[in-house]
């Protein structure tokens, strides 16, 4: 009996440990008021998600005074660029800084991954200077090592290290990078990225205007490439009513700036521009390593490439047209209730395991004729409510499942510990 309890105790402790592995830079920096500005801008630019989604990372923090004087002079897009140069895709702690072979090295930064880092702009030079000082500077030839390591702030060994430096690292050209203005040519960028069909559709339906209006505050577009529209299984769009086509195109965008790092850390379903009272029109995100997949409920699509990532606008291409269940249904029969339902108490990873009732073999050959022409206002298509309520049940169960699991686990640990103590005492 006691052996069993002991195994149970170990098992529950292990469960708790797996629940709390990932780091959270916002939480780490919140213990240090002197970096509150830096922390604020990490959140504002969504770089926090990027940091949290990576395993081996070093953040070079700057104190409030330094960040404020930088932020006062530049738009958010430039601040994001500068801060990206302070996020090293490698682990450096105090010991490693002073043990650099030959005393000098280059480190890749997050800036390098943005796709607009020519030459050495995305690299940082770290040099062990005389007298135990460590200098940081841009790796671009001729740059000075103006930033000096001042102290170590926090380490979770080999996962994340936070070090303070006294001055920002500035690469040539980074401060004068043009800010994205409200008049970014969305269609021009999309055409260049191979999404001509999508451009034609958003232009003809007027959805482009909706995008442009949203772009000022925050917009993320998932544009299917031209091949995606030709793929087998894509419904005949000419069979859709205008309102349905508009809903389909609005389904391909979010009313927020959501770069890839944020997609990777997304747990809850994402609302889209098509989301309204009558339909959820949401997207679930699945992440595997660096790859992000969107699940509409009818099918999935890989996020293929980043066309533009510039606060507050993000444009991606996707491999498949995203087909919302509100328009293209799931299984026509109400059978999905038989699908393995994740019971709250045993749902370790509801996001991954979310029940996915087998899609109807070809729901597209006979496009649904929803009773309403206006997905924006009227009641949802006849099979909508079923799908909706299933979805919401699954999702609620999922979220509650995690909470329930965590609480249950904590409860169990407490119980097991007290049992252990009483056992030892006896």
Ligand X SMILES: *[C@@H]1O[C@H](CO)[C@@H](O)[C@H](O)[C@H]1NC(C)=O
Residues forming the site for ligand X (CB under 6 A): 21, 24, 26-27, 30, 52, 55, 104-106, 125, 127, 145, 156, 159, 185, 187-188, 191, 265
Closest Cα partner for 107 from 123, 87, 131? 123
The nearest distance, CB 278 to ligand X, in angstroms, is: 31
The residue (of 79 and 126) whose beta carbon lies closer to ligand X is: 126
The residue (of 109 and 187) whose beta carbon lies closer to ligand X is: 187
The residue (of 36 and 127) whose beta carbon lies closer to ligand X is: 127
Distance CA 205, CA 229 (A): 16
Distance CA 48, CA 401 (A): 26
The nearest distance, CB 188 to ligand X, in angstroms, is: 3
The beta-strand segments (E) located in 97-252 are 104-108, 123-128, 134-138, 147-156, 160-165, 219-224
The nearest distance, CB 303 to ligand X, in angstroms, is: 20
The nearest distance, CB 261 to ligand X, in angstroms, is: 11
Residue nearest to ligand X (CB): 188
The nearest distance, CB 253 to ligand X, in angstroms, is: 18
The residue (of 325 and 395) whose beta carbon lies closer to ligand X is: 395
The nearest distance, CB 301 to ligand X, in angstroms, is: 24
If 0-12 CB within 10 Å is exposed, 13-18 middle and 19+ buried, where does residue 267 land?
Answer: exposed
Spatial neighbors of 165 by CB under 8 A, at least 6 apart, are 60, 61, 62, 86, 136, 147, 148, 149, 150
Q: Does residue 153 sit in helix, strand or coil?
A: strand
The residue (of 187 and 272) whose beta carbon lies closer to ligand X is: 187
The residue (of 127 and 408) whose beta carbon lies closer to ligand X is: 127
Q: Does residue 213 sit in helix, strand or coil?
A: helix
The nearest distance, CB 156 to ligand X, in angstroms, is: 5
| Cβ-contact 40, 48 below 8 angstroms | no
Closest Cα partner for 66 from 143, 147, 127? 147
Residues paired with 316 in a beta bridge: 222, 306
The residue (of 49 and 164) whose beta carbon lies closer to ligand X is: 49
According to DSSP, the β-strands at 219-224 and 313-318 are parallel
The nearest distance, CB 265 to ligand X, in angstroms, is: 6
Longest Cα–Cα distance of the chain, Å, equals: 79
Residues paired with 319 in a beta bridge: none
The residue (of 52 and 225) whose beta carbon lies closer to ligand X is: 52
Spatial neighbors of 190 by CB under 8 A, at least 6 apart, are 196, 198, 199, 221, 223, 307, 315
* CA dihedral sign, ordered 362, 366, 369, 375: positive
The residue (of 73 and 192) whose beta carbon lies closer to ligand X is: 192
The nearest distance, CB 185 to ligand X, in angstroms, is: 4
């Amino acid at each position: 009996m006691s052996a069993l309890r002991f195994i149970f105790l170990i098992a529950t402790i292990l469960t708790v440990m797996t629940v709390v592995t990932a780091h959270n830079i916002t939480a780490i920096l919140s213990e240090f008021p002197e970096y509150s500005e830096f922390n604020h801008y990490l959140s504002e630019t969504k770089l926090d998600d990027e940091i949290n989604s990576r395993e081996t990372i070093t953040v070079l923090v700057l104190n409030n005074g330094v960040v404020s004087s930088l932020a006062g002079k530049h738009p958010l897009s430039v601040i994001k660029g500068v801060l990206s140069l302070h996020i090293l895709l490698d682990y450096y702690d105090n010991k490693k800084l002073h043990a650099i072979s030959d005393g000098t090295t280059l480190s890749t930064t997050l800036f390098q991954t943005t796709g607009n880092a020519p030459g050495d702009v995305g690299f940082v030079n770290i040099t062990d200077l005389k007298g135990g000082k460590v200098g940081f500077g841009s790796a671009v030839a001729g740059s000075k090592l103006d930033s000096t390591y001042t102290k170590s702030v926090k380490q979770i060994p080999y996962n994340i290290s936070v070090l303070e430096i006294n001055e920002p690292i500035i690469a040539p050209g980074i401060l004068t990078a043009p800010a994205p203005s409200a008049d970014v040519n969305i269609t021009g960028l999309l055409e260049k990225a191979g999404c001509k069909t999508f451009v034609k559709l958003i232009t003809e339906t007027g959805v482009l205007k909706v995008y442009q209006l949203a772009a000022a505050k925050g917009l993320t577009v998932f544009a299917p490439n031209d091949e995606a529209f030709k793929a087998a299984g894509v419904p005949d769009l000419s069979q859709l009513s205008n309102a349905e086509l508009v809903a389909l195109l609005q389904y391909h965008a979010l009313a927020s700036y959501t770069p890839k790092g944020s997609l990777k850390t997304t747990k809850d379903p994402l609302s889209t521009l098509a989301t309204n009272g009558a339909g959820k029109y949401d997207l679930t995100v699945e992440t595997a390593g660096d790859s992000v997949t969107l699940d509409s409920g009818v099918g999935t699509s890989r996020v293929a490439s980043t066309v533009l990532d510039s606060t507050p606008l993000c444009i991606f291409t996707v491999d498949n047209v995203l087909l919302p269940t509100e328009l293209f249904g799931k299984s026509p029969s109400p059978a999905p209730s038989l699908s393995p339902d994740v019971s709250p108490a045993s749902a370790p990873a509801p996001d991954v395991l979310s029940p996915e009732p087998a899609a109807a073999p070809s729901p597209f050959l006979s496009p649904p004729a929803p009773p309403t022409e206006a997905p924006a206002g009227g009641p949802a298509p006849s099979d909508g409510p079923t799908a909706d309520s299933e979805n919401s049940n699954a999702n609620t169960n999922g979220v509650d499942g995690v909470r329930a699991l965590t609480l249950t686990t904590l409860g169990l640990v407490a119980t097991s510990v007290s049992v252990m103590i009483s056992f030892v005492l006896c």
